[in-house]
Amino acid sequence: MSRFYLGRSSKHTSVQPPPPSREKKPAKRLATIDVLSRGRMRLLTVGLGSLPREAQAMGVDFATRGRRAEEAIRVIRALWAGGDEGADHDGEFFSFEAVCSFPKPLSATLPVHIGGSSRAAARRAGRLGDGFFPGGALDAQERAAQWELARASTAEAGRDPDSLEYTRFGSLDMPVERVEELAEQGVTRVVVSAGATEPDD
């Protein structure tokens, strides 16, 4: 296990909804992975999920999952930023005082990308995320429109659109020409796994 963590590969999560409670756990676990891997925990990707019964199984109200996810991201960032005195939060879904979470990520925080196949996800990425990871079930035109929407939402939030990262799925055997094509579209990161195949546009 130590050889895996100390290798050259970077680590990231798949697109996943935040847990319904106890945000200290993911904050602590992700920071621990980052420390053990010497700063190679490069990406947390948060998505809402599109299945009402999935939300029900997690004890989450499907209708409010967007607001809950946004607050969860703020909570996790607050826990990473909090010092020995702890962090306070009083929100719609989470409330606590003087909660400490250690260790901290080596770079003080970790990038949070927003994943999803909807325009709401693109707006959320621009408003709150460090990057956007669109779903695979989109045609090229809609994917491009969502990326531009994410960038526009970043500017509306008073942030630099060029700071927003753009992640896409890829495959280990994708040709150089395809990588160059993605780069021209603004893609800054391609995520692959040993058995990955690139989704069709």
pTM for this entry: 0.83
Q: Which token pair is 30? A: 């992700």
β-partners of residue 46 are 16, 114
Alpha-carbon span 73 to 30, nearest angstrom = 13
Alpha-carbon span 102 to 70, nearest angstrom = 22
Q: Which token pair is 103? A: 């260790």
Going residue by residue through the chain, which has 201 residues, state the pLDDT in tens, using 9 for 90 and above: 333 333 444 545 554 555 545 567 889 999 999 999 999 888 889 988 888 998 888 888 999 999 999 999 999 999 999 999 999 999 999 999 999 999 999 999 999 999 999 999 999 999 999 999 998 789 999 999 999 999 999 999 999 999 999 999 888 889 999 999 999 999 999 988 766 555 555
Alpha-carbon span 124 to 119, nearest angstrom = 9
